[in-house]
Structure 1
Amino acid sequence: MESDFDDTAARGLQGYLRLVTGQLRLSGECGFVDAERPMGAYLALDGRLPAYPDRDVALVWDEVRGWAVAVETHSGEDLLVCEYYGADLVPAPDAVARWVRGVLSGKGRGRRLVSPRGAREDVAGRLAPYAIVGLMLEPRSA
């Protein structure tokens, strides 16, 4: 059966998120992928940001702006983005993990006001190779 490109990109995002989760040494139990366009992902992080010691922290990704570290609001509204990764919307998982560790330690790059934008087709194509990771890690049925 031939999958369409969106299915491949969604599986790629799942595999990519699994690799980022592994690099951060998280269980991945508090994360999800939204395969609807624009695609997105959410991953709860351990730790707190120095500027927001009483708020839960999340790593979020979308195909338009890439990775961002954000904090949960007390009112249940949208997350408050504290820092974007930068121009590369699909950086290597180990680079994402290094960046997250830096942000959590207070040594972030401070890209708070810039919201990068990328081409969806490029992002989908860059995620496609990660689809094999998602297939390799899926439970097999008997």
Structure 2
Amino acid sequence: MDTMSLAADGLVGYVTSVAEDLGVDIFEIDINLDADLATVIILVDAQVPVFAEFPLLLTWDEVAGWALRIDTDGRGATVTLEFLDEDILPDSALVRRFLWDAIRGNNPGVLASPAFRLPNACDDLEQRLARFCN
């Protein structure tokens, strides 16, 4: 994704709106607008019951959308727990419910990674993201 595009600004706006709606403290937000694959990592102050000893990450990428992961070694190695199989850009309330259901010990997502699109595909993602520009 072009770092100077409206889509890049929109991704920042979208992630900010999702983060503000999560209802948990956030330690860090990392948005990577790599030319090959745009990604987001949100480190939240919450855990899932089965893996309470591991930091919980809410992640997004332009292929699979939102996922819950745990940081297994403190150096960036993560394991995916489940994916939110709704849409590449679901409403922030759906992302919040996905996170909160997992924190409560439910399994709100799917195990298999959805493939909503290919990286840098010629589709409507950039236009959809541009709606979130400030």
- TM-score (ref. length: structure 1): 0.80
Note the C-alpha offset of 1:124: 2.1
The count of aligned residue pairs is 128
Q: Which residue number corresponds to residue 128 of structure 2?
A: 126
Q: Does the Cα contact within 8 Å between 1:87 and 1:116 map onto a contact in 2?
A: no
- Aligned twin of 1:32: 30
RMSD over equivalenced CA pairs, Å: 2.0
1:54 matched residue in structure 2: 53
Partner in structure 2 of residue 69 of structure 1: 68
**Identity over aligned pairs, percent:** 26
**Higher relative helix content:** 1
Q: Which runs of 5+ in 1 are unaligned?
A: 133-142
Dislocated runs of 4+, deviation >6 Å: none
8 Å contact kept, 2:59–2:69? yes
Hey, what does 2:78 align to over in structure 1?
Answer: 79
Q: Is the 8 A contact 1:58 1:71 kept in 2?
A: yes
CA deviations 1:92-131 (Å, max 9, x no partner) are: 011111111111111122412x111123433222211011
Assess if the C-alpha contact under 8 Å between 2:67 and 2:82 holds in 1: yes
Name the CA distance, whole Å, in 2 between partners of 1:55 and 1:5: 32
Unaligned runs of 5+ in 2: none
Match of 1:14 in 2: 12
Report if aligned partners of 1:86, 1:111 keep a CA contact under 8 Å in 2: yes
Larger radius of gyration: 1
Compared CA separation, residues 5 and 31, structure 1 to 2 (3 A): closer
Partner Cα separation in structure 2 for residue 28 and residue 16 of structure 1: 16
* 1:90 alignment partner AA: L
CA displacement, residues 4-41 of structure 1 (integer Å, 9 cap, x when unaligned):
79611111110011101110135655102111231111
Higher strand share: 2
Q: 1:6 to 1:87 in 2, by over 3 A?
A: farther
* Distance in 1, Cα, partners of 2:21 & 2:129: 17
